[in-house]
Chain A
Amino acid sequence: MSRPGGKQEALLALAGAAALVAIAFGAPWLKFVLTIALAKGLAVLGILLLLRAGQVSFGHALYVAFAAYVVAFLAPLVPEALVLLPLAALGAALLGLVIGLFVSRYREIFFGMMNLALSMVFYSLLEKFYHFTRGTDGIRVQPPRVAGMALTRDGYEWALFGIALGLCLVAGWLARIYLASPMGQALSAIKTRETRLEFMGISARAALLFAYVASAFLAGCAGAIIAMTTRHVTPLLGYWTASGELVFIAVLGGAGAVLGPFLGAIAFELVRVYAAATLADSWQLILGSVLLGVILFASRGLWGVIEALLRRGRRA
C-alpha cells in the first residue's frame, strides 16, 4: 500500500494542530475564523462518512442549525458550554436517527434530495415561527460559562478554540477507527455493490443509518460550536447554501482521509476571508476559481495533493 500510514497521519494532524495554535497566537483575530473552520471541519467529517457509502447529503446544515438553535434556546437555562455542547450534539443525533430511519432507504440523488427537502422544511419553520425564533433577525447567545468559570472575551475565545481543536482530534481519530472497522468497511461496500453486502448478512440500511446518525452528531457538535462562537444564531445556518458549502468543503479537502475535511474547511475559510479582504465586492469569483482549480488540477482535493507529495517523498 502506498497510502500514508496511521502514524504519519497522526503526526500530520498533530503538526497541523500545533500550526493552528501558533497562528491563533500570532493573529488573534484569526482565532475566531479558525474556530469556525474547525467546527465546519467536524460537520464535513460527517459528510465524509456518508461519502464513503457513495451518498451525498445536500441537507446536513439542518443538523448544524438544529444544534445551534438548541444552544440558543438552552443557553439562558444552562449557561455552561460543557453541558450545552453535548446536549446540542445529542439532540442533533436524535433528530438524525428519526430522519435517518426514512432517508437511509434511499440512495444517491434521492438520498441527497430528501435531505435537502427536510433541511429546507426546518429552515422554513425557523423563519415562520417568528414569535418564537425571532425569524431572520436570529437569537443572541449570551456567552456561557466554561467548566463553571465565567471567562473574559479572550479567555472565552481560547477556550472555544481549544474545545473545537480537541474535538476535531478526537473525532478524527474515532472516525479513522470506525472507517477501518467492519461497520466502516460496510460503507465502502454500499458504494461498490450493496447486494453482496446483504448476501453476507449485513444490513446495508443499518450500516448507513449508523453512519448517518454519527454524521448528524458531528454536525451537531459543529452547530453548537458555531453558535457559541458567533454568539448569534440565524436561520441562514440551515439554508441550502450552507449545506452546499459543506459538500464544497468536502470536495475541496478531499474525501480520501479524515484529515481532508479539516484541511478543506481551513482552506475554505481562509480563502474566503482573504478574498473578501482583497475584493470586497467579488470575493465569490475567487472562491469559485479555487474550487474550479481543485476540480481541474487536483481531483482528489487538497488531501490528494499532500498524499502525492508524501508518496513522492517516500520514493525519493
Chain B
Amino acid sequence: MIDSDFSRRGLLLGAGFGGVFLPDALRNAVQAQGTRPTEIKLGITTFLSGPASVFGVPGKQAAEMLIEEINAAGGIGGVPLRAIFVDEGPGLDHLVGEFRRLVQNEQVDVMLASISSGSCLACTPLAEELKKVTLLWDCGTQRIFEEHSYQYAFRTQANATPEILAPLLYLLKTKPNFRTVAVVNQDYAWGRDSWEIWRTAQAALKPDARVVAELFPRFGSTDFSTEITRLLALRPDVILSASWGGDLDTFIRQANERRLFERSTFVMPLAESSLERVGRSLPAGHIIGARGDHWHMHPRPRDKAHLTRFVENYRRRYNAYPIYPVFHMAQALSALQAGYAKALAAKGGAWPNQVELAAAFPGLEYDTPTSRMTIRADGQGLEQQLIGTSKRVDTHDFAVLDNMVIFPAEMVTTPAGKISTDWLKTLKPDILADMPAPIPYA
C-alpha cells in the first residue's frame, strides 16, 4: 500500500502538484474489505484563522494532545490515529472543497466537522452523499437533526436549545422576580438563533417578563458604548449575552468599567470560555454557562483523577486552562474510540466499513472528561449542562463558578422528532421543581 511507505502529505510536498494525479482507484483497490488499516485518518475542520480561532485553535491543540495520548496507548484497535486539519476560516466554498479533498483524495476514515453552524449545515448533507462517518464535534445549531435525518452524521455534544434553556432555568430558579430583560448578541445566525430560543422559552415559563431592548451589535465589534449607555438608562433586571470570543471579552470589560454589572444581572451562556481572559473584569454574581457539562474545576466529575490529569496535561502543553472546545474535542475522540470498539466487537474483531461503523453510533455510550454521554437514535448527543454563578476567590486571578447546577440532559434537550421552538412553547413552570440542587464552589 502506498500510504505505508511514505505519507500522502510527504508525497504531495515532494512531487509538488504532480501528487494529485495519483489515481484514487488504485489505492481503493488495495484497501481490502475487513483488513486492519495501518492508520486511521481523521479529517478535522476547525477555525485556524479569523475571530472563531479562539475556539478553533484550542480545539486543534486538544486533538493533537489527545491523539498523541491515544496512540501512545496503542491507538484504536491497535491502529494509530492521524489527524489532518482544515481551516474553516476562508468560507464555505473552500471548506466544502476541502471536505471532498479529505474524503475522496486523502481517503480519511472519519470526519470531525466544524465549529460554525453554517459549516455543519453544509457539511452534514455532503457527508451523507459521500457516505462518510462524520462527527459534529462543536457546532451548535439545533436545525441539523430536527430538520433532516442522517445515517452517517452524529453530534457528540449538546446543541443550542439545552445550552440556552439551561441558563434560563437557572435564572428563573435563582432570580425568580426579574421583570425586565435585555439582550446584547452578535449580529449573525448564532446571536439571532440563541435569542429566538431564549425568547420562546421565556414566553412559556415567565410570560410576565418584559423584553426592553434587543441589541445586535455588529459581529466583531470593538466598541459597545452605545449599547452600554442604553442599558444603563433602561436598567433591565437581566441582560442576556450569548456572545463569545473577542466580542464578549470587550463587552465584559467595557460594561465593567461603566459599572453595568452593578445594576443588572448578566446571563452569559458562553462565558466559561472567556473567564481566564477577562480575569478580574468579571464581577461576582453573574450567571455563566459553558455549552455543556464542562469546567476545569467541575464539582462532580465521573473520574476526578481523569479530569485532573486531562486539565494538567493541557495546561502543561499550552499554558492555559482548557475551555469548552477542548472538552468538545475530547468528547468527539472518546465517542470515536467507543464507536470503533463497538463496531469491532459487533464484527468479531474484523475491521468495520463505513456502514458498520455508522451503525455503532446510535445508542452509543462513551466517557467524557466529566461524565458519561449517550448518542440518541436520531444522532444527537445527550449532554448535561453545567451552569453557575461567578464568584471571586483569592486562589485565582479570574472568576470561578459557584452554586453550580448540573442539568440532566433529558430535562433540557428537545425530545427526538420534535422541533425546538415548538417544544419550548409547551414547557411549564413546574419544570423547575425537577432542577437539581446547586453545588457550591469548593
CB of A134 within 8 A of chain B?
A: yes
Mark each residue of chain A from 204 to 235: 1 if its CB lies under 8 Å from any CB of chain B, else 0.
00000000000000000000001001111010
Q: In the complex, are the beta carbons of A130 and B192 less than 8 A apart?
A: yes
Q: In the complex, are the beta carbons of A283 and B87 less than 8 A apart?
A: yes
Known: A26-B20, A127-B188, A135-B192. A278 touches B12 (CB 8 A): yes
CB of B432 within 8 A of chain A?
A: no
Interface size class of B (residues with CB under 8 A): 35 or more
Q: Determine the distance from Cα of A242 to Cα of B121 in the docked complex, in whole angstroms.
A: 21
Q: In the complex, are the beta carbons of B189 and A136 less than 8 A apart?
A: yes
Min C-beta distance of B43 to chain A, whole Å: 11
Min C-beta distance of B120 to chain A, whole Å: 9
Known: A137-B141, A140-B121, A281-B85. A27 touches B48 (CB 8 A): no
CB of A153 within 8 A of chain B?
A: yes
Q: In the complex, are the beta carbons of A137 and B117 less than 8 A apart?
A: yes
Q: In the complex, are the beta carbons of A138 and B12 less than 8 A apart?
A: no
Q: Tell me the nearest residue of chain A to B126, going by C-beta.
A: A231
Q: Chain A residues in contact with chain B, CB under 8 A? A: 23, 26-30, 32-33, 36, 127-128, 130, 134-138, 140, 153, 226, 229-232, 234, 236-237, 242, 269-270, 272-274, 276-278, 280-281, 283-284
Q: Tell me the nearest residue of chain B to A239, going by C-beta.
A: B91
Q: Determine the distance from Cα of A277 to Cα of B96 in the docked complex, in whole angstroms.
A: 14
Listed by A's residue number, 24 A-B pairs whose Cβ atoms lie within 8 Å are A26-B20, A27-B22, A27-B24, A30-B105, A130-B192, A134-B189, A135-B188, A136-B189, A137-B141, A138-B121, A140-B125, A231-B125, A232-B118, A232-B122, A234-B92, A236-B91, A242-B91, A272-B90, A272-B94, A273-B97, A276-B90, A281-B49, A281-B87, A284-B49
Q: Tell me the nearest residue of chain A to B44, going by C-beta.
A: A280
CB of B6 within 8 A of chain A?
A: no
Chain A residues whose C-beta falls within 8 Å of the C-beta of B12 in the assembled complex = 274, 277-278
B21 partner, pick from A27, A277, A278, beta carbons under 8 A: A27
CB of B187 within 8 A of chain A?
A: yes
Known: A27-B20, A30-B20, A140-B122. A276 touches B93 (CB 8 A): no
Q: Tell me the nearest residue of chain A to B187, going by C-beta.
A: A127
Q: In the complex, are the beta carbons of B17 and A270 less than 8 A apart?
A: yes
Q: In the complex, are the beta carbons of A28 and B48 less than 8 A apart?
A: no
Q: Tell me the nearest residue of chain B to A40, going by C-beta.
A: B93
Q: Determine the distance from Cα of A28 to Cα of B130 in the docked complex, in whole angstroms.
A: 12
Q: Determine the distance from Cα of A73 to Cα of B125 in the docked complex, in whole angstroms.
A: 18
Mark each residue of chain B from 285 to 297: 1 if its CB lies under 8 Å from any CB of chain A, else 0.
0000000000000
Min C-beta distance of A158 to chain B, whole Å: 14
CB of B13 within 8 A of chain A?
A: yes
Min C-beta distance of A268 to chain B, whole Å: 11
Q: Determine the distance from Cα of A269 to Cα of B101 in the docked complex, in whole angstroms.
A: 13
Q: In the complex, are the beta carbons of B92 and A230 less than 8 A apart?
A: yes
Mark each residue of chain B from 98 to 127: 1 if its CB lies under 8 Å from any CB of chain A, else 0.
101101110000000000011001100110
CB of B23 within 8 A of chain A?
A: yes
Q: In the complex, are the beta carbons of A135 and B189 less than 8 A apart?
A: yes
CB of B412 within 8 A of chain A?
A: no
Chain A residues whose C-beta falls within 8 Å of the C-beta of B48 in the assembled complex = 280-281
Chain B residues whose C-beta falls within 8 Å of the C-beta of A284 in the assembled complex = 49
Q: In the complex, are the beta carbons of B91 and A234 less than 8 A apart?
A: yes
Chain B residues whose C-beta falls within 8 Å of the C-beta of A36 in the assembled complex = 93, 97
Chain A residues whose C-beta falls within 8 Å of the C-beta of B86 in the assembled complex = 276, 280
Min C-beta distance of A17 to chain B, whole Å: 17
Chain A residues whose C-beta falls within 8 Å of the C-beta of B130 in the assembled complex = 153
Q: In the complex, are the beta carbons of B189 and A273 less than 8 A apart?
A: no
Q: In the complex, are the beta carbons of A32 and B21 less than 8 A apart?
A: no
CB of B9 within 8 A of chain A?
A: yes
Q: Determine the distance from Cα of A270 to Cα of B19 in the docked complex, in whole angstroms.
A: 13
List 10 additional A-B contacts (Cβ < 8 Å) besides A26-B21, A234-B92, A274-B12: A23-B21, A26-B23, A29-B100, A128-B187, A136-B219, A137-B141, A140-B121, A231-B122, A242-B91, A272-B90
Known: A27-B20, A130-B192, A137-B118. A277 touches B101 (CB 8 A): yes
Q: Determine the distance from Cα of A207 to Cα of B59 in the docked complex, in whole angstroms.
A: 53
Q: Determine the distance from Cα of A134 to Cα of B117 in the docked complex, in whole angstroms.
A: 11
Q: In the complex, are the beta carbons of B17 and A274 less than 8 A apart?
A: yes
Q: Determine the distance from Cα of A153 to Cα of B94 in the docked complex, in whole angstroms.
A: 19
Chain B residues whose C-beta falls within 8 Å of the C-beta of A272 in the assembled complex = 90, 94
Chain A residues whose C-beta falls within 8 Å of the C-beta of B97 in the assembled complex = 32-33, 36, 269, 273
Q: In the complex, are the beta carbons of A273 and B98 less than 8 A apart?
A: yes
Q: Determine the distance from Cα of A242 to Cα of B94 in the docked complex, in whole angstroms.
A: 12
Chain A residues whose C-beta falls within 8 Å of the C-beta of B122 in the assembled complex = 138, 140, 230-232
Chain A residues whose C-beta falls within 8 Å of the C-beta of B49 in the assembled complex = 281, 284
Chain B residues whose C-beta falls within 8 Å of the C-beta of A134 in the assembled complex = 189
Q: Tell me the nearest residue of chain B to A29, going by C-beta.
A: B104
A29 partner, pick from B92, B101, B129, beta carbons under 8 A: B101
Min C-beta distance of A28 to chain B, whole Å: 6
Q: Taking each of B21, B94, B97, B122, which has the highest tally of chain A beta carbons within 10 Å of its own beta carbon?
A: B97
Min C-beta distance of B28 to chain A, whole Å: 11
Chain B residues whose C-beta falls within 8 Å of the C-beta of A277 in the assembled complex = 9, 12, 101
B98 partner, pick from A128, A136, A226, A276, beta carbons under 8 A: A276
Chain A residues whose C-beta falls within 8 Å of the C-beta of B92 in the assembled complex = 138, 230, 232, 234, 236
Chain A residues whose C-beta falls within 8 Å of the C-beta of B9 in the assembled complex = 277-278
Q: Determine the distance from Cα of A36 to Cα of B101 in the docked complex, in whole angstroms.
A: 14
Chain B residues whose C-beta falls within 8 Å of the C-beta of A231 in the assembled complex = 96, 122, 125-126
Q: Tell me the nearest residue of chain A to B129, going by C-beta.
A: A153
Q: In the complex, are the beta carbons of A278 and B13 less than 8 A apart?
A: yes
B35-56 interface with A by 8 A CB criterion:
48-49
Min C-beta distance of A42 to chain B, whole Å: 14
Q: In the complex, are the beta carbons of B85 and A232 less than 8 A apart?
A: no
Min C-beta distance of A278 to chain B, whole Å: 6
Q: Determine the distance from Cα of A27 to Cα of B27 in the docked complex, in whole angstroms.
A: 12
Q: Determine the distance from Cα of A284 to Cα of B48 in the docked complex, in whole angstroms.
A: 11
Q: Tell me the nearest residue of chain B to A227, going by C-beta.
A: B93
Min C-beta distance of A286 to chain B, whole Å: 12
Q: Determine the distance from Cα of A184 to Cα of B105 in the docked complex, in whole angstroms.
A: 43
Q: Determine the distance from Cα of A226 to Cα of B92 in the docked complex, in whole angstroms.
A: 11
Chain A residues whose C-beta falls within 8 Å of the C-beta of B101 in the assembled complex = 29, 33, 273, 277
Q: Determine the distance from Cα of A44 to Cα of B188 in the docked complex, in whole angstroms.
A: 29
Chain A residues whose C-beta falls within 8 Å of the C-beta of B84 in the assembled complex = 280
Min C-beta distance of B214 to chain A, whole Å: 12
Chain A residues whose C-beta falls within 8 Å of the C-beta of B21 in the assembled complex = 23, 26-27
Q: In the complex, are the beta carbons of A136 and B104 less than 8 A apart?
A: no
Min C-beta distance of B279 to chain A, whole Å: 27
Chain A residues whose C-beta falls within 8 Å of the C-beta of B85 in the assembled complex = 280-281
Q: Determine the distance from Cα of A156 to Cα of B201 in the docked complex, in whole angstroms.
A: 43
Min C-beta distance of A153 to chain B, whole Å: 5
Chain B residues whose C-beta falls within 8 Å of the C-beta of A32 in the assembled complex = 96-97, 100
* Closest 9 A/B residue pairs (Cβ): A29-B104, A232-B122, A137-B189, A135-B189, A281-B48, A136-B188, A280-B85, A136-B189, A29-B100
Chain A residues whose C-beta falls within 8 Å of the C-beta of B125 in the assembled complex = 140, 231
